[in-house]
Amino acid sequence: LLPRPASGLTDGLYCGRRVCYEVLGVSRQASKAEIARAYRQLARQYHPDRLRGRPAGQAAHEEFLLIATAYETLKDEETRKDYDYMLDHPEEYYRHYYHYYSRRLAPKVDVRLVILVTVCAISVFQFFSWWSSYNEAINYLATVPKYRIQATEIARQQGLLNKTKEKGKNRRSKEEIREEEEEIIKDIIKNKIDIKGGYQKPKIYDILLFQILLAPFYLCKYLVWYCWWIYCFTIKGQEYGVEEKLYIIRRYMKMSQSQFDSLEDHQKETFLERQLWIRENYEVYKREQEEELKKKMAMDPRWKRYRRWMKNEGPGRLTFIDD
């Protein structure tokens, strides 16, 4: 009652209804060298270039493709193992289909390597992009009179701008001296001003690669902090500290840590004075801010022109008004 090995062969898998070993004329115990030798002999015999223009050319071409398929199946150890299993267990149709197409459709390059290269490329782009933004912020602050005057005074106190002029061959041009003074001012601004938010100084552990590597540490740290929060403020009922109050306010405002850090200190003090960590107080503050924003927009001449344009002309009409 058991089916013969060849009865489980299916069209579309490996050599179809024919056994790959029989196509190459070798036994199932044949070594890789014997399989390669049989393939070379049959390939020379049935190669389409040798029988081109003859009546048997089309049949020889199909036979050559079948020989190549049999060789591709048997030369690889893993594929040969799957094929032998199909011959011995012809009733497991779905397993055979899965293994066959999973190997054929599997990517030639390791997916883990592709992911690693992609993450590294994104991390490098992030780092240099952040450095560019940080340098732009420093260059801008160097043009602001408030910061430039302070940096110049600090440089003079440190004796960085009071150097004696060089003479002879070491004498530099005014342009070189001006560039050096500009770099000194920028260095002082970098050291004295703590830029926060999107233009802050980039840190290596903020890039994507380190964030992925440190994800387990951050997860454990968050779980410990969350358990501590529940124990202190939910179970024991302790009062919130300043940091805890600011954290709750930041969550109500739906701001990231960097966005919240970029706020001025007097704004945070205002939040604490109004006790915005209490939900009811924050809702009142939010409505006040919305009303104030509406008043500003109502008094803004550009917003007035926009509303007048929407009312009279509508968005479907093209105009040449710049604003």
Per-residue pLDDT tens over the stretch 175-223:
877 888 888 888 888 887 666 655 677 788 888 898 899 999 999 999 9
Q: How confident is the model at residue 37 (pLDDT cuts 50, 70, 90)?
A: very high
- Which long-range contacts does 92-100 make (Cβ < 8 Å, 24+ apart)? 93/8, 93/10, 96/8, 96/10, 96/13, 97/13, 100/13, 100/14
Whether the per-residue pLDDT at 5 is higher than 80: the answer is no
* Burial class for 321, CB neighbours closer than 10 Å (0-12, 13-18, 19+): exposed
Per-residue pLDDT tens over the stretch 294-312:
888 777 777 767 667 666 6
Instruction: Give the predicted TM-score (pTM) of the model.
Output: 0.50
Domains annotated on the chain, with CATH: 20-105 (1.10.287.110), 112-162+174-202 (no CATH), 239-312 (no CATH)
Q: How confident is the model at residue 249 (pLDDT cuts 50, 70, 90)?
A: very high
Nearest one of 134, 249, 122 to 201, comparing CA atoms: 134
Whether the per-residue pLDDT at 114 is higher than 90: the answer is no
